[in-house]
Structure 1
Amino acid sequence: MLLAELEVFHSRPIAPTRRVAIGVAVLPTSPAPGFGGLLLGGIVARFIPEVDPDLLDELTRLTHQVEAGQRIAQPRLRHRLQDDRVGLTKCPHRLIGTGEELLFELHESVAAEPNVLAAVYAAGRLAPEVRPSVMSAIRRSMHWRAELGPEFVEYLTETRSTANWSTLGGRDPVVWALGVLGLTPELTGRKVVQNRFRELLRDAHPDHGGDSDDAAQRISELTEARRILLHG
């Protein structure tokens, strides 16, 4: 099932004028950062190691300017944002839900900067009330240097998910996690937790009868509960 999508268009690296444009953008953000925020963070994490280190400070400044809704002077990171996509190379990026896990299907590209820029600019087009959460996820993703798997999803949603259990009357996070996964203290072995997580994740997915409006919240809670029980 397609959960989020972003099309990035950019000129070839050897082009005299480097350009970037945004195509289709399906970026749900409820509850923030949502699947859209996860996808944008994944794009940044994938391409940030290939961005010129000399441009990273400028990129960080740009995220704050875009988050604040400021007018962005062009070009940035040596690329000019435009609406026209004629003659540009398309790079489609998608976040897919299989019913058991989230998969990042990111198009390979020889140009790192325009993909990172497009993710930041796409976040800037989101509603003002969700933009800070999504941009925070993007900035966190700039420090990720591993595969885009379950640990990455936990990493981006950790702050928000921790707030879920910590606001439930001050309950112990382990007690909260056991309740989310429907386990007892005696049943917290790694294999038991993983199997229960996969079972509930499958049930929460809209393709298996889960409520599509609550899917992101439920998946976030399940992921955080697993992290607490397996990693503390």
Structure 2
Amino acid sequence: MDPLQKVHEAHKNGLLSDKIHSLIIERFPVVVSGINRIEKASGMNFPLAYVEPSVVITNSSSFNYGILFARTIPVISGEHLEVVIQITAPLVAYGLKGTIHAILAHEFLHYLELIRKVSKMDLLSDEISGNLFEGIYSDTQRLFDPRAVFDDKTLLLHITKKFPEGFKDYKLEDKVVKFWIEKKLPAINITLDTNVVKLPAIVIANTKIDPKLVSKLDELEQKASKLRKKKLY
């Protein structure tokens, strides 16, 4: 899959101007370098990723909204689970290198946590729907300690600076509002509930995970546990 396919289609259909399309193409190597950096720093493969040619806006009230620059999305394919990282075009177009890499790393942590839960069938205990046969994946869940996953000190610094308690980059947000939202470029509006995906138990049970990845996740859990204990003392 071409990660820029949807961007090209949006341009072809007149939803993105030549200028915006060219800017996204020009800056996409920053995303590629970020993925390569994350793979090198973690020793694991980055999941399938693509660029969404829209800004994703989440509404928490009629007067308050937030911008989601990337999302880790579980996709049900047949009776199996696949995980895709959705990277928004405004992030690619206007994000600084450190910001893009930090967001990609943060989504990678979501991916690892989701895979960990699927491998242990933990998702069944996270349900909020009251349905015993469905698990819930939410973007607000607990994540692996980045220090247990990455050995790139600069990348770790980017993550801790950008995600003290939720992502904040006011300059980037201002740019996106000015150059994307106010210009009425493509937008996807979601509610916070939309960012929760229900995963049927049969899908979780049928999903096969690479044993090497499962082993690596076990190592990360032990490492994260040691880091937590060290923090306590």
TM-score (norm 2): 0.25
Higher strand share: 2
TM-score (norm 1): 0.25
